[in-house]
Amino acid sequence: MPPVRSKQGALQKAGLGYERRAAYEVQKIADAARPRDVVEVVLAVFIMQEMEPRRFRSDTAFRFQLVRRVRALADVNAGLSYDNKSNKVRRVYRELSPRAIAVIGQWIAEALGGAGIHLARLEREDEGRQKAERLELHKALEELK
């Protein structure tokens, strides 16, 4: 089968539709959000997973929330719709297919997951160190009494 040209003249390759949709969404995020903000959100969600593991039921649920938080930075998942009953324009959220979300979550986890896990472990160690210092201070104060 020969390659197909798009309306813009670019060559298109055959591929899975949900992967193309995921790539399109990532491009929209890249155009609208600062890379620093994306990295900060991703690292924060990884720290949240490490500090509060019960917040996410599974790894799949974690990745879905990760993608939702990243997409929220760029307003790519929001649109406007007119509500006839209240005569107001309402904000509506457009969800991606679960397969596209899984692909984006996999890409984010591969790109920043190692750094997120490392940062979360450093945060946990720092928290343990602070707890030990507070315990020492309490002991010292009790000895003064």
Segments making up each domain of the chain, as ranges: 18-144
pLDDT tens-digit map of 17-62: 888 888 888 999 999 899 999 999 999 999 999 888 888 899 999 9
The Cα 72–Cα 90 span in angstroms is 17
Percent of the chain with pLDDT over 70: 89
CA distance 30 to 54: 31
CB 105 within 8 A of CB 30: no
| pLDDT surpasses 90 at 6 | no
Percentage of the chain modeled with pLDDT above 90: 35
Q: What is the pLDDT of residue 78?
A: 78
Q: Which two tokens stand for residue 19?
A: 């992967």
Can you tell me the distance from the alpha carbon of 142 to that of 56, in angstroms, rounded to the nearest whole number? 40
CA 107 – CA 103 distance, rounded (Å): 6
Q: Against a cut of 0.75, is the pTM above it?
A: no
Q: Give the pair of three-digit tokens for residue 138.
A: 């309490």
Helix pair angle (35-51, 59-72), 10° resolution: 150
